[in-house]
Each structure stands twice: as structure tokens, then as C-alpha cells.
Structure 1
Amino acid sequence: MSDEESALPSDLDREAVRTALVEWYEDDHRDFPWRRTEDAYEILVSEVMSQQTQLGRVVEAWEAFLDEWPTVQDLAATDRADVVAFWTSHSLGYNNRAKYLHEAAQQVRDDYDGAFPESPDELSELMGVGPYTANAVASFAFNNGDAVVDTNVKRVLHRAFAVPDDDSVFEVAATELMPDGKSRVWNNAIMELGGVACGKTPTCDESGCPWRRFCHAYETGDFTAPDVPTQPSFEGSRRQFRGRVVRVLGEYDELTLDELGPRVRVDYGGDHGRDWLRGLLEDLSDDGLVDFEDGDSGAVASLKR
């Protein structure tokens, strides 16, 4: 696709964007147990359970479910009423999902000789498995998926690269960004970014967002998105204090932490003392905006020239 047809900025260094996200994800991410398996059955169970259920609650239910029915053959052979009873007892939402999961297991057993199909299109033939779930299983079990486009991903793409709020354009942008043959790590990583760093109220610096230096929203301060119609509060935010640090340091050659702190916030000290300020400065240093180092007279900061 040419730059004129691209859904992404023409000057975007796509390889740098990809590398930054994957390295951020591989360095540290939420350790859900289904991220440690490539078993299609186990991943399908996690995806069905995660629909409209908080992931923290899913972990216990997922582990208990697999203790009860360790394989797709075990699930296919059990009574559907037992699966529904399990679903109800673990407060997993609509019981139809339990029925569909049981029927999908029987399809895998009867129609595919017990081996899961590997492409999103084939997986979509299973009962209750829609396009999103099919793509997730193809990605995480077989590394054979398309670029995922869910609400979190749309939010990230809209904020980071000013992708218009249009489903077809989001699809194009997500596909352009995903590295060939790496749907497993990429889809996990971009969903993690949306879930951890770029939620409705972003935590760009606190989460060490790897796309800050590319991000349109981070540059402009406008964090609205398709599912965030109003701007998250700026007053008292970390973004506001980062801006104050840069502005104050622009007026001085260098300042120690205790010289800088009171100029950044009137309540400097306690919870918002040196450790808090050091965190801001380390983030700004990582972004190439300030120089921050420990000297003979203590830590000093200056604006990068």
C-alpha cells in the first residue's frame, strides 16, 4: 500500500514502532496463565470466559475448568448440564457461552478428529466462535492470526497515530503495523498496551508507554478517543507535572531535586517528594528531554540542550 493510501502517518518509522512495542511487552507484562500456553483448547476457554468478565476473576475459573476438563475430548464427553452448572457457579455471565463452548468441543472431536483448525476462517465455523475469538485463538495458539482490532486497539491507534474513527481504516492501520508472521506476540502486546498504559485514562509515563515518542496524543495532550468522548482530566495529572518540570528547567542551568520540587508543585514533600520527582525525571530522561544524574552534591537535573 502506498503512503497516500496508508492509514498511518507517512513519516512514521514503522520498524521502530514495532520494535519498541514488542520489547516493552517482552520486558514486562501481566502474567495471565493462558499467556504461557499455546494449546488451542486452553486458549479458547480463556477467550470465551473473558467476554465481559474481568480478567482477574477469570484466572481462578479458567484453572478450575481445566482441572475438571483438561482436554477438548474431556469437555466434549461431559454432560452439557455440568458445564452450564460450572459456568453459573463461577458467575461467568451468559450461560449460552457455556453451551456453545461445549458444542464447539464436540465439533472439534467429531469434525476435526480432535485437532483444532488453525486459521481464523476455519475457527469461525465452531459454535459460538466469532471473528474476534477465532482470530485470537489463531494468533495465540498457532501464530496464524490477523491483526486484532478491538476497542483497546482502536483507542491506541486513534491516539498514537491519529487514525480516523472508522472501522475499515482501523483494520488497515492495524494490518500495516503488525509484523509478518508475528501475530502471537504482536496481538498480545498491542492489547496489553491498550489495557495497561492507554486505558480510558492513560498512564503514559507511569506505565512506560513505548510509543510516547511517536504518539500524537502524548505530543498534543488530547487523549480523546472513540470510546473516550471527553478529555481525561489534565489538572493534577502526571502530564501536567512533566510539563512544569520542562518549563522550570528551561529557566535554569540546573537544579537539585529539592530546588526543583517546590517550583513544580506547592505540596512538594511526603508522597510527592524526591522519589516521585525522581520518577518524573527518569521518564523525561528516557524520552531525551532532560539530563538527570547523581553528582557530588546530590542529584541534579537540567534541560537537554
Structure 2
Amino acid sequence: MTDTEAAPAWSLPDDRDSVRDALIDWYEADHREFPWRRTDDPYAILVSEVMSQQTQLDRVVEAWEAFLERWPSTIELAAADRADVVGFWTDHSLGYNNRAKYLHEAAGQIESDYDGHFPESPDELQELMGVGPYTANAVASFAFNNGDAVVDTNVKRVLYRAFDVPDDDSTFEDAASDLMPADRSRVWNNAIMELGGVACEQTPACDEAGCPWREWCSAYATGDFTAPDVPTQPSFEGSRRQFRGRVIGTLREYDELELDTLGHRVRVDYAPNGEYGREWLRGLLADLEADGLVELDRNAEPAVARLRR
């Protein structure tokens, strides 16, 4: 890096193996059961991906099972009357009818251009009608374990909150690619999307869902859970969440700080015996202690606060 180049404002944890293992272990121990997660049939996975583009996953299950029962492979789908396929889409409220048309055409391509065999790489899969980069990568990952890192809205939210990755598509892709372990796109992409779907939703459920990244997560440390798809919370200014973040940020700069020194650094109106004084600061530190983020040495005189290592 040259003298004129600024250091990036975000960075992934140094111990990435621990980050990866924590997420995969969390996912494999317990995750939502969807039937398409129990198959590596690319046709079944493609159908699930197209259906879920505009429909909640819980509602997709019944439609997906009925669709595959009626047209169990690309052979049957390609031979079907397109009006029947579109009618099915409409009857099951699956969103834009052109997705049904494209799926029907893609089945025809598989049969006529690929002799009934699915292409396996994301680039090749994009040659299918209506299959864009995201869907192609998902099918490559979940059917062939041959995909790149998936970057959808949920994944962006996770990366933004956990590692302060800025709201920029290419940066999100770089960060997601750096995190994904080699040759494990199937489990990894399922796991990180599950994390965004059940633990790091717009309203986070970090502790309730047992988020495996809490020890590395910037949002969990600061209490600021805004994200690209989550509006800034107007109540944050002056809130305990804001001052929790200031305490963590200040202690990151120093090995340790005496109580009053810390207080003066986190708010300009700090007064040891005032409304926002030692009692207020001790309450804030007690919350952070309970979360395992800070330790307060009460035996020192005066008391000293430090980050928990």
C-alpha cells in the first residue's frame, strides 16, 4: 500500500478457519428443513430457485412438490403445453408468469441442446433461458458443489453487519468469496443464507438463534444493526446502543482505561457524580460484561475497564 492509499475501513477476521467452521457447524447442527435441500438434482433445484424468487419459502414447498409430481424431469416439462405450465404458476400465486415461460423454455434447451444433461458451471448455466448469475450460481452450488459464493440480500446484510463490509456489490462479492472455503459451495452457501434468514434478519435474533458469529460481529458488539436493507433507526442517537458502541470502540484503542477516563471519552457531558456519571457508566459496563464483551476490574483503585480477550 502506498502512502496515498487509504487502508480499507473493513476487514475479515484473521482466523477465517474458525469463522468458517463456526458457521458450518451451526448450520449442520440445526437448520430449516426444505425438501430441495435434500437433493442434488439440478432440475429440482432450478425449479425451487425460480419459484422462491418472489415467494416465501414456506409457501414454495407445496407448489414445488406439486410441480415435480406433475413434471418430474426436464423431459416431461419440455413436452408440456406452455399454457398448462403458466396456468400452474398462476394457480399457485408464484409471481410473474414469464418465469414459468422461461422455465419451460430452459427445459427445452436442456433436452435439445444438452441431450438431457444439465451444464454444471455458473457460466454455462446462464445460457439457459431466464437463468441469471444468481440462479446459475445457486444451481451450480447446490447441485454440483461447483459454485461461487452466493451474494443475495441476506448475505449482504450479514457481511455488512458482521464485518463492516461497505454497501458496494463488488466489495460484497470479494468479501463473500474470501470467506467461502474452497470446494464447499453447497454447504457454505446454504449456511450463510440460513444465517441471514433466521439469525440476521432485518430484526436480528442473535442470541435466540445462537448466531455462531457473535464473537466476531461488529453489529453485535456495538448494538447498531442497520444494514443496506434496514433503515437507520432514528432512536439510535443518544441511546444506550450508541454508547455501548462508543465504549467498545474506545476500549479497542487502549489496553485499558480507568472508569472516569473512559467516561469522558464516550460522552462530552460525563460528570463522575452527575446524571451521566459513574453510576450510569457502571450500568453500561455491566450490560457489556453480561454479554461477555468487557471486563471491569473492581479491585483496582480506581476501577479499570478493558475488552475481554
The reply to whether TM is greater than 0.5 is yes
Contact 2:10 2:166 in 1 (8 A): no
When residues 233 and 38 of structure 1 are mapped into structure 2, their CA distance, relative to the original with a 3 A threshold, is farther
Equivalent residue for 1:259?
Answer: none
Contact 1:224 1:232 in 2 (8 A): no
1:118-139 deviation per Cα after TM superposition (whole angstroms, max 9, x unaligned): 0000000000001000000000
Counterpart residue identity of residue 21, structure 1 = L
Cα shift at 1:25: 0.3
Contact 2:24 2:188 in 1 (8 A): yes
Please say if 1:15 is aligned against 2:9.
Answer: no
Contact 2:12 2:175 in 1 (8 A): no
When residues 138 and 7 of structure 1 are mapped into structure 2, their CA distance, relative to the original with a 3 A threshold, is farther
Q: What secondary structure is seen at the aligned counterpart in 2 of 1:81?
A: helix
Cα shift at 1:72: 1.1
Equivalent residue for 2:196?
Answer: 194
Counterpart residue identity of residue 28, structure 2 = E
Contact 1:109 1:115 in 2 (8 A): yes
| Residue correspondence of structure 1 range 92-111 to structure 2 within 5 A | 92-111=94-113
Equivalent residue for 2:114?
Answer: 112
Equivalent residue for 2:124?
Answer: 122
Cα shift at 1:288: 8.7
Counterpart residue identity of residue 88, structure 1 = T
Equivalent residue for 2:39?
Answer: 37
Contact 1:40 1:141 in 2 (8 A): yes
Q: Give the Cα separation in 2 of the matches to 1:26 and 1:10.
A: 23
When residues 10 and 73 of structure 1 are mapped into structure 2, their CA distance, relative to the original with a 3 A threshold, is closer
Q: TM-score, normalised by structure 1?
A: 0.75
Q: Give the Cα separation in 2 of the matches to 1:9 and 1:88.
A: 45
Please say if 1:231 is aligned against 2:202.
Answer: no
Q: What secondary structure is seen at the aligned counterpart in 2 of 1:62?
A: helix
Please say if 1:185 is aligned against 2:187.
Answer: yes
Cα shift at 1:13: 1.4
Please say if 1:139 is aligned against 2:141.
Answer: yes
RMSD: 2.6
Counterpart residue identity of residue 15, structure 2 = D
Counterpart residue identity of residue 212, structure 2 = P
1:217 to 207, 216, 219: 219
Please say if 1:59 is aligned against 2:73.
Answer: no
Moved over 2 A (4+): 4-12, 231-234, 287-290
Counterpart residue identity of residue 35, structure 1 = R
Cα shift at 1:231: 3.0
Q: Give the Cα separation in 2 of the matches to 1:58 and 1:180.
A: 30
Contact 1:33 1:59 in 2 (8 A): yes
When residues 90 and 135 of structure 1 are mapped into structure 2, their CA distance, relative to the original with a 3 A threshold, is same
- Of structures 1 and 2, the larger Rg is shown by 2
Q: TM-score, normalised by structure 2?
A: 0.74
Q: Give the Cα separation in 1 of the matches to 2:203 and 2:104.
A: 38
Cα shift at 1:12: 3.0
Q: Give the Cα separation in 2 of the matches to 1:122 and 1:222.
A: 41
Equivalent residue for 2:268?
Answer: none
Cα shift at 1:229: 2.1
Equivalent residue for 2:77?
Answer: 75
Q: Give the Cα separation in 1 of the matches to 2:163 and 2:224.
A: 12
Counterpart residue identity of residue 99, structure 1 = K
Contact 1:39 1:141 in 2 (8 A): yes
Cα shift at 1:6: 7.7
Q: Give the Cα separation in 1 of the matches to 2:98 and 2:149.
A: 27
How many pairs were matched up? 244
